[in-house]
Amino acid sequence: MSKKTRLVIDGQSVPFCEGQTIMEAALLAGIYIPHLCYHPLLQPHGSCRLCIVEIEGKILPACTTPATSGLEVANDTELLNQKRRTLLQLLFVEGNHCCPSCEKSGDCELQAMGYWLRMLDSPFPRFFPRRKLDASHPEVLLDRDRCIFCERCVRASRELDGKEVFALGGRGIHTRLIVNAPSGLLGDTNLASSDHAARICPTGALSVRKTAFHTPIGARSYDRETLAKVTIRRAAKLLNGKERNG
Amino acid sequence: MGSASGSVTKQDTADILARYESDPFLLLPILQEFQDRFHFVPPQAKEAIARHLSLPLSHVEGVVGFYHFLSDEPRGEYEILLSDCIIDHFRGRESIRQRLCDQFSTRTESAQADARVSIRQTACTGLCDQGPAALVNGYAIAALDVQRVEQMVALIRCHIPVNQWPETLFQIESNIRLPGPLLYADLVPGKALERAFQETPEALLTRLERSGLRGRGGAGFPTGMKWRLCRETPGEHYLVCNADEGEPGTFKDRELLRHHAHAVLEGMTLGAWVTGAAEGYLYLRGEYRFLRPVLEQTLRERRKAGLLGEDIGGMKGFDFDITIRLGAGAYICGEESALLESLQGNRPRPRNRPPFPVTHGLRGQPTLVNNVETFAAVTFIALHGSEWLRNDGTETSPGSKLLSISGDCSRPGIYEFPFGTSIHEILDTCGAQSPMGVQVGGPSGNFITPREFTRRLAFDDLSTGGSFMIFNGERDLLEVIENFTRFFARESCGFCTPCRVGTSLQERLIKDLRQGKMRKEELPTLQQLGRIMATASHCGLGKTAANPVMTTLEKAPQYYQRAFVQTGSGTTAQPCPMENPE
C-alpha cells in the first residue's frame, strides 16, 4: 500500500497516494476541478485544458500534473474560471452545438459545463464547420458536428475495449475523428454498442441508438444535479473501484 | 519523379514494402516513398502498410492526414509548393504565384485544370536569403524570377521529369556573410574524438559544463547538464540531432549541414560516447531534402574512416551509427517530444511533461536531443577546450550565435555574432536600410521597434534560435502579422483547445482587421484570445502563437487603431506602412 501524503487545494488539505495526479486526489476528496477530456478509467490526456489550476504562479492541467507533498493548488478562483469559460467558448464556436435540438441535452457534459461555468454567450465568431455524419452503424451514431476531440472514445477503445476503433486524422482546426475501416464508416468496424468507447463520449458525438428519449428531458443527469456533484459521485466510485482492482 | 499517379499496383506496393522491416518506426519513411512515387498514398497502399506494420489502418490514416507533404488524394505529377514566408512575399512571391497559376490555369489550393501540375503553398522553406523560393516535388528552387519560372513552365510542358531538370535551377547559395569562431573552425574528421579519447567521458562532461554551452535551439538549456542527466539515467540510450529547422526566417542549419557536416556528426558521436547511445538519428526537415545526398556521403566517409560503426576510433566496444530521417512538412516536429513521436511513427503530438526526453525519450528510453549548432559547438569544445567558447560572448551566454538574417538589408545571409552584440551593431553589419522593426526569433519570438535596438543578443535579453527578419518603413506591419497568424493556424497540431481553435480564430480576426471589418470594440476579444493561448496551451507553439499580435498591440498600437472600422461600413483598410514611433 502506498503511503499517504497531503497537498492543499484552495486552502483545503487533501490526502493523496503516491502516483496520483492532482485531479485524482481532488475528486477523491470531493473537490471538483472542471474537465472534459479526463476520465477516471483512462490514461490522462491533457487536451481540453479546462482543468487548468494555478501552482506557484504556473498554470498547469490538473489531470496530468502529479500530486506532490505540500503542493499549494489554486482551483476555484475567478481568474481560472474565467479562463475555463474562454476555453469552453472556443469549444462551442468550433463545432456545431445546438443544445435545444440535441438528444443528449441534459446528459451532455459540454452543455452542463456551460451552466456550471455560467457561459451565457461567446465573443468569438462561429466556425460552422462541415463535418460528415456517420449513421452506418446499426447501434451507434457518430455525429461529428458535436465532437470536441477529447479522444475519450479513442482511448477507451484502445485501453478498455482492446480494440482500436477510433483515431484522430487531419491537423489543427481540420482535425477529425476517424474510424478504423477501409470504408471510413463506423458500420464497418468491430464497435459494439456495449463497448466503453460507444458510451464514454462527453457530448452527443457518439450515442447509442434507440435509447435517445428513454429518459425524458427534465429527468436526466444534469437536469436535477450540478455537473460537479454528479461527476464527483461517479468518479469516486470508479477511482475506488480501480484502486481495489489495481 | 516516378510513374504516373493512380497506376499503383499490388505488385508495386509489395515491392516497396519488401524492403522495409515490420517496424512501426518505419511508417513515415514508407509513406514518403509512396508519396514520392505515386504523388499520394493510395488507399490500397495504406491498408497494405497497416498490415505490414501491424498497425490499425486509422493510425496510418492519422499520420498521412497530419503531414503537409503527404496526401490521400493524388497531387500533381509536378507539385509546386511556394514558400509562404513573409520575406518571400516581400521579395515578390505573389507575382510568381500569379504567373505560375496563369500558365497552368489553376488556383492555389484548388483543383487544377492541368492535372499534371498542382500549385500550393507551404511554410517558410528556409531560403529567405534568396527567395522567393519553392519546392518542386520536394526539391528546393530559390531566387524565383520571371526567367526561372518560364524555364520551369517549359520543362513541365515538355514533360521532363524533375530529376532531369538542369542543375542550375536547384543551385542554392551559401551566403555566409560573417564567419566567426564556429564557421571558421576547421576540423580534421576524427580529431575531436581522438582528443576526447585521451581522457574520460567524465572529463569531456566537465569541459562542457565549464564552457557554459547552452542549447542553440533558443531555449538555452545548459548542454553539459542535459548530457549528464542523460548519461546518469539507466537504460538503452538514444541520441537525436534536431535538424528540423522550421522557424520562419531561419536557415543557418542549412549551411552548417552543408559545410560543417563532419563537425555536427562528430558532436553527435561524442554525445553517443558520453551517454552510451548506440543509435542516433538526424531528423532533417523535409524542406532540406536536397541536403540528404551530401549528408549520406559524409556518413559513408565517416564509416569508412572508422568514425562510425563498430569500435569507433579504435575504442573497443564503442559502437554507434547515425540514420537520417526526413520530416514531412510539420513545424511542430521542431518541438523535441513531437519530433520523437514522429520518429516513432506516431502523429507528432508534443508529449505531456514530465517526464522529459532526457530520461524518457525514444521508446521510453533516455534520449539526448540537441540542435545542429549545439552538436557542432560541442565538437570544437572537445577539441580546443572550454575556453574556445568562453573567449566570446557574455558570462551567462558564452560563445557566438549563428543568425539567419533576412528582409530589408543589403546583405542577407548567415552571420556569426558573439552573444552580447547589440541589435544596432547587427543591423549596421548586414546593411539594414532604415529598419523600423525587427522580428527576432521568428514569429514565435519578439518584435522589436527602433527604441529597443540597444538591446542585446543573449539568452537573458533577446534569445533566438537564429531567425532575424528586418522590416523597413515601407512594410505593412499588419501584413506581417497576418502572415504569422496564418503560419500558426496551419501548423497547430490540433491537440489542445486553446491552440487548435485559438490560432484559427486569431487568423480570422486579423484577416477581418486587414479587410476593414473589425471594430475597435472587438479588440478585447483578440486580446482575450491571446491571453488564453499564452497561458493554457499544451506546448510552446500554442504558448507563443499569439506573440506577434500581443507584442505589436503593446508596442505599436497605432497600426491597429488606423485599421479599425470607424463607421462600421466595412470599407477596406488602407495599408499601414511602418513608421518610427520616436
The rounded distance, in Å, linking the Cα atoms of B158 and B152 is 10
For residue B304, give every residue at least 6 positions away whose Cβ sits within 8 Å of its Cβ, in sequence order, or none: none
Position B222 pLDDT exceeds 80: yes
For chain A positions 117-156, those within 8 Å of chain B (CB to CB) are 123-125, 127, 148-149
Q: Contact A49/B496, CB-based, under 8 Å?
A: yes
- What pLDDT is recorded for position A213? 87
CATH 3.30.70.20 fits A99-224, yes or no: yes
At which residue does the C-alpha cell 484559427 appear?
B504
Q: Contact B535/A125, CB-based, under 8 Å?
A: no
Q: Is A87 near chain B, with CB under 8 Å?
A: yes
- pTM: predicted TM-score of the whole model, two decimal places: 0.95
| Helix (H) / strand (E) containing B253 | helix B252-259
Q: Contact A171/B502, CB-based, under 8 Å?
A: no
Chain B residues lying within 8 Å of A175, measured CB to CB: 494, 500
| Helix (H) / strand (E) containing B156 | helix B146-157
Q: Contact A87/B347, CB-based, under 8 Å?
A: no
pLDDT digits (tens, 9 = 90+) for B487-537: 999 999 999 999 999 999 999 999 999 999 998 889 999 999 999 999 999
Position B106 pLDDT exceeds 90: no
For residue B363, give every residue at least 6 positions away whose Cβ sits within 8 Å of its Cβ, in sequence order, or none: B236, B238, B344
For residue B494, give every residue at least 6 positions away whose Cβ sits within 8 Å of its Cβ, in sequence order, or none: A149, A168, A170, A171, A172, A173, A174, A175, B500
pLDDT digits (tens, 9 = 90+) for B17-57: 999 999 999 999 999 999 999 999 999 999 999 999 999 99
Q: Is A19 near chain B, with CB under 8 Å?
A: no
Whether the complex's predicted ipTM is more than 0.95 is answered with: yes
The residue count for chain B: 582
Looking at per-residue pLDDT, the higher value among B244 and B569 belongs to B244
Asked if residues B283 and B343 have their Cβ atoms less than 8 Å apart, the reply is yes
Q: Contact A90/B493, CB-based, under 8 Å?
A: no
Q: Is A47 near chain B, with CB under 8 Å?
A: yes
For residue A229, give every residue at least 6 positions away whose Cβ sits within 8 Å of its Cβ, in sequence order, or none: none
Ramachandran category for residue B17: left, alpha or beta (phi over 0 → left; psi -120 to 50 → alpha): alpha
For residue B566, give every residue at least 6 positions away whose Cβ sits within 8 Å of its Cβ, in sequence order, or none: none
The rounded distance, in Å, linking the Cα atoms of A232 and A220 is 17
**Cis ω before B293 (30° cut-off from 0):** no
Q: What top-level class would CATH report for the domain A4-83+226-245? A: alpha beta
- What pLDDT is recorded for position B581? 41
- What pLDDT is recorded for position B2? 41
Interface of B with A (CB under 8 A): 43, 47, 56-59, 61-62, 65-66, 330, 347, 352, 354, 489-498, 500-505, 508-509, 522, 524-525, 528-529, 531-532, 535-538
Q: Where are chain B's structural domains?
A: 10-64, 78-173, 179-390, 400-472, 477-563
Q: Write the DSSP string, B477-508.
A: HHHHHHHHHHHHHHH--S-SHHHHHHHHHHHH
The rounded distance, in Å, linking the Cα atoms of B459 and B216 is 10
- Which pLDDT band holds residue B8 (cuts at 50, 70, 90)? confident
Copy the grid coordinates of residue B89. 512575399
Distance between A224 CA and the closest CA of chain B, angstroms: 29
Q: What percent of chain B clears pLDDT 90, i.e. is strictly above it?
A: 88
Q: Who among B59, B490, B536 is closest to A87 (CB)?
A: B536
Q: Contact A172/B493, CB-based, under 8 Å?
A: yes
What angle separates helix B27-38 from helix B10-18, to the nearest 10 degrees?
140
**Cis ω before B350 (30° cut-off from 0):** no
Position B327 pLDDT exceeds 60: yes
Distance between A91 CA and the closest CA of chain B, angstroms: 7
Distance between B55 CA and the closest CA of chain A, angstroms: 9
Distance between B351 CA and the closest CA of chain A, angstroms: 9
Cα B295 off chain centre by: 17
DSSP state of B4: P
Chain A nearest-CA residue for B57: A180
Chain B nearest-CA residue for A172: B494
Asked if residues A153 and A197 have their Cβ atoms less than 8 Å apart, the reply is yes
Q: Is A228 near chain B, with CB under 8 Å?
A: no
Distances (CA, A) of B29 to B51, B325, B358: 16, 7, 25
- What pLDDT is recorded for position A1? 43
CATH 3.40.30.10 fits B78-173, yes or no: yes
Q: Who among B65, B354, B531 is closest to A171 (CB)?
A: B65
CATH of domain B400-472: 3.10.20.600
Chain A nearest-CA residue for B531: A83
Q: Contact B500/A87, CB-based, under 8 Å?
A: no
Q: Which of B321, B289, B285 is nearest to B465 (CA)?
A: B285
Asked if residues A209 and A141 have their Cβ atoms less than 8 Å apart, the reply is yes
Chain B residues lying within 8 Å of A169, measured CB to CB: 58, 61-62, 65-66
Chain A residues lying within 8 Å of B500, measured CB to CB: 94, 149, 172-173, 175
For residue B436, give every residue at least 6 positions away whose Cβ sits within 8 Å of its Cβ, in sequence order, or none: B449, B450, B471, B472, B473, B475, B578, B579, B580
Q: Is A34 exposed, middle or buried (0-12, 13-18, 19+ CB in 10 A)?
A: buried
Q: Contact B498/A172, CB-based, under 8 Å?
A: no
C-alpha neighbours within 13 Å on the C-beta side of residue B294:
15
- What pLDDT is recorded for position A245? 67
| Helix (H) / strand (E) containing B146 | helix B146-157
Q: Contact A168/B536, CB-based, under 8 Å?
A: no
The mean pLDDT of B544-571, rounded to a whole number, is 84
Chain B residues lying within 8 Å of A167, measured CB to CB: 56, 58-59, 61-62
Q: Who among B59, B500, B529 is closest to A172 (CB)?
A: B500
Q: Which of A128, A147, A126, A83 is nearest to B505 (CA)?
A: A126
Copy the grid coordinates of residue A20. 496520483
Asked if residues B467 and B248 have their Cβ atoms less than 8 Å apart, the reply is yes
The CATH fold of domain B477-563: de novo design (two linked rop proteins) (1.20.1440)
Q: Where are chain A's structural domains?
A: 4-83+226-245, 99-224
The mean pLDDT of B377-382, rounded to a whole number, is 98
Q: What is the 3-state secondary structure (H, E, C) of chain A?
A: CCCEEEEEECCEEEEEECCCEHHHHHHHCCCCCCCCCCCCCCCCCCCCCCCEEEECCEEEECCCCECCCCCEEECCCHHHHHHHHHHHHHHHHHCCCCHHHCCCCCCCHHHHHHHHCCCCCCCCCCCCCCCCEECCCCCEEEEHHHCCCCCHHHHHHHHCCCCCCEEEECCHHHCEEEECCCCCCHHHCCCCCCCHHHHCCCCCCEEECCCCCCCCCCCCHHHHCCHHHHHHHHHHHHHHHHHHHC
- What pLDDT is recorded for position B111? 46
Q: Who among B58, B491, B497 is closest to A49 (CB)?
A: B497
Position B199 pLDDT exceeds 90: yes
Interface test with B, best of A36, A81, A90 (most B CBs within 10 A): A90
For residue A67, give every residue at least 6 positions away whose Cβ sits within 8 Å of its Cβ, in sequence order, or none: A5, A7, A16, A20, A21, A22, A24, A25
Copy the grid coordinates of residue B51. 498490415
The rounded distance, in Å, linking the Cα atoms of B100 and B153 is 8
Position B115 pLDDT exceeds 80: no
Copy the grid coordinates of residue B53. 506494420
Q: Is A115 near chain B, with CB under 8 Å?
A: no
Position B6 pLDDT exceeds 90: no
The rounded distance, in Å, linking the Cα atoms of B311 and B306 is 8
CATH of domain B179-390: 3.40.50.11540
